[in-house]
Amino acid sequence: MMKLLETCRNIYPYSSIRRSFYSSIYSRMPYRDLFSERKEPFGKMPKEGIQEVWKNLPPATLESYLNTSWSYQKSEENNKLDLASDVILDEAGNPFVFKSVRKAQEKILPQSIFSTEYSVLGDQEFLDCALKLAYGSEIYQNEHIAAVETVGGTGALRTAFEFISRCFISLDGQKPRVYVPSVTWPNHKDIIRSCGLKMRDYRSYRKNVQGIDLKSCLSDLFRATKGSVVLLQTSGQNPTGTDFLPEQWQEISQILKDRKYLCVLDMAYQGLVSGDVDTDALALRQLIADGHQVIVCQSLSNSFALQGNVIGTLSVVTSNKQEKENVWSHLRSLTHSMHSNVPNYGRLIVKTVLLNEELKNEWIEEAQRLVESIQDTRQALHDKLVSLDTPIDWSFLLQQKGLFLFTGLETEQIETLRKEYGVYLQPDGRLNLGALRMSQVERVATSIQKVIHMESQTEEKTKEE
């Protein structure tokens, strides 16, 4: 069994190490920015005046998913439909709010929002209830888990890979390579790249069958560099919505153990996939039971529909109390240099709900109803697409779970949907069911049908010519 800190070189509390974010000695690699391959910076102070410091700075190349959001915001079309975002809306088109969250708001005293009682060391009460939700009470009590608060799941991921970049050394004595699903949330790769780490893909999803490709997944992980880092999503895979089955997780866990991988888990939608918080955490708990010392990036923003008040946690499973303290010192130092403290409001909401048994049970019941509603929308869209004249077997849509529907549409089709019908999807074809109202299902299905039919006609015309 691989121990995380057995592969680290003399991890000591951060206070005993030179406090330099960009130290090439400590990080073993200079910080890498967007223009790191250039020997000279674009921005230079002119000899006379300061009016044109950034004259030669070109615009950054935005990732395609950011361009989609930018295009939606710039569009002046009145009837545009944003299904590319991650937000959850109600039937009126307003942001969805759990009733349990509203009740928690009423319980929070206004002055507590501005409280200074939460030091730079964080709110341990919040961490306890958040991590019990993820790990389960028994595991959380019995394991040595170092944890910090983060600004949402993205903040947790960024902190995790910064920690790995600084403190984890692979079996060959080098910075580890990170293995990432070939079809994954695009920001995963942006975050890892920003931390100066190299990546490789492993296959886990096969587009031509619109489902899990377990054989290729196991093969890629078996052949990958031993002692590396592997990124996995626990449930509600973004963007595919296609999760591994419990028995498949057992096979994956065995490969990861044999190859001595360090596992980083992205846990973003607990409670909103199956409707059961424990079922959505099975992957994490399976890996813990098998002896893995995982790093868990937990987002509570999605689970509590707090996208405007993001909150999350980063936790690392260690072997003993001393390791826990040492790891925690590094995590706390990293988060302090990034954002110092997390915003109070999201933390207070989550803590108030989870520490009140009545509100917690109400939130769980509401999450179940929300999942059922999303599933009804998925079924309705599937049924409408089937009823239309499209040369596609849409049954794969019903195999997916969670907030997202992976349409399988091609880039050109997605672009046509946007330009001709004002329907915005992610560039990879991901559609957010949480933002799709039942009254819009027919419009979306009809638009997809027309795009597919239009492409078929184009192909036939090309063949004739």
pLDDT tens by residue, 377-422:
999 999 999 999 888 999 999 999 999 999 989 999 999 999 999 9
pLDDT at 440: 96
Asked, as a colleague might, if the bond just before 110 is cis with ω within 30 of 0, I would say no
> Taking the domains of the chain in order of start, what are their residue ranges?
4-14+109-355, 79-98+359-464
Mean pLDDT of 158-166: 96
Name which of 103-112, 286-295, 300-309 the model is least confident about: 103-112
CA gap 157, 266 in Å, rounded: 8
Burial of 182 (0-12, 13-18, 19+ CB in 10 A): middle
Q: Which residue has the higher pLDDT, 331 or 170?
A: 331
- Residues 6 or more apart in contact with residue 194 via CB below 8 angstroms: 32, 158
pLDDT at 457: 58
Residue 245 has pLDDT above 90, yes or no: yes
Sign of the C-alpha dihedral, residues 139, 141, 142, 146? positive
pLDDT at 58: 85
pTM for this structure? 0.87
Residue 27 has pLDDT above 60, yes or no: no
Statement: 79-98+359-464 belongs to CATH 3.40.120.10: no
Could you say which architecture CATH assigns to the domain 4-14+109-355? 3-Layer(aba) Sandwich (3.40)
Strand ranges inside 248-344, DSSP E: 262-267, 295-299, 312-318
pLDDT at 20: 40
- Residues 6 or more apart in contact with residue 294 via CB below 8 angstroms: 263, 264, 265, 284, 287, 288, 316, 317
pLDDT at 267: 98
pLDDT at 35: 43
Mean pLDDT of 317-333: 95
